[in-house]
Each structure stands twice: as structure tokens, then as C-alpha cells.
Amino acid sequence: MVSKFSYRILYPLGLLIFILALLAYFVQLILTKKVTASSGIFALMGLFTAIAIWLCFGELRTKAINVWIADEQIAVSKYLGLGGRKYYPFTGFSGFETAQLTSNSGSYEYLYLMIADRKAVKLSEFYHSNYDDLKAVVMQHLENLGEKEFEFWQEMKEIFI
């Protein structure tokens, strides 16, 4: 089974492209001296840089992943499937946990494949249109460790792990 991306993948991807274009525009304005380099412009650029890092390393690296499930293993390719594949045998996982993330557009489930106490693979109902099928296959191979509360700061911390 191969994961399929939902149209919602365009949201973080479009936002990342927009923010990178804004950053390039600000740099161009500063270099051509059309805008003076002030603390306000640098604060704005810092905010945009932080958002770009979150989108690139938090969303595209860990959640916008392509997944292949075959036989007794799962293969994961990060960054929309453009990254190299990493293979995990199902026997290497201790189980899976789920969490609900509520947003303005609805509530979405995340499924975390756990190795010991670490989230090794994150499947997302938001990013994967065939999430229910992927979850059903995972449930055949792994123990359900229960539902955990979604922790925003834990997710932010995992960006750098």
C-alpha cells in the first residue's frame, strides 16, 4: 500500500513558498537600499524565518511523508516523498499512538509509530487522503498504545530531534 497526499498538502507548501519569496524580497530591498535595515524589518524577517523553519522541518520533513507498506516493513520518504527512503521492520516498533489535532477547519487524527518512547513515523489524516486505509494496515501489525493528548510544544521540540 502506498500513501496518497490530500489536497491539503498545498497549504503548507504554498505558505512556505510565499514566505521564502517574501524573505527574498526583503533581502533585495535591503541590498538595493530601498529600505533601511531597521530592527523592525529584521524582527519581521526573523519571524518569517522561524515560520519557514517550522514548515520545512516540522511539517514537510516529519508529516508530509510518503509511506509504502509491504509485507513486514514500512518505508518512509520525507519531504513530500523527495527524500531518501528509510525502511523500518514492523517488529522494530513498540506500537502506535494516536492524537487528535483540532483546528479551525476541523479535527484531524495523527498516528505515531513508536520506537520505544520516540515517534519514528507520523501519519496524518490532514496530509494523507488514504489515512484510514494506512491506519487499518498498521493496526494489523502493531499494538495500539492508546490515544495521547496532542502537545503543541512537544511537536515543536521534535522538529529539532
Tell me the mean pLDDT in the region 135-155.
90
CA gap 70, 21 in Å, rounded = 39
Q: Compute CA 75 distance to the chain's CA centroid, rounded to the nearest angstrom.
A: 16
Assign 30 a pLDDT band (cuts: 50, 70, 90): confident
pLDDT at 98 over 70: yes
CA gap 20, 39 in Å, rounded = 20
CA gap 52, 105 in Å, rounded = 22
Sign of CA dihedral 140, 141, 147, 151: negative
* 150 φ, ψ (degrees, to nearest 5): -70, 130
Assign 58 a pLDDT band (cuts: 50, 70, 90): confident
CA gap 111, 65 in Å, rounded = 13
pTM of the model: 0.86
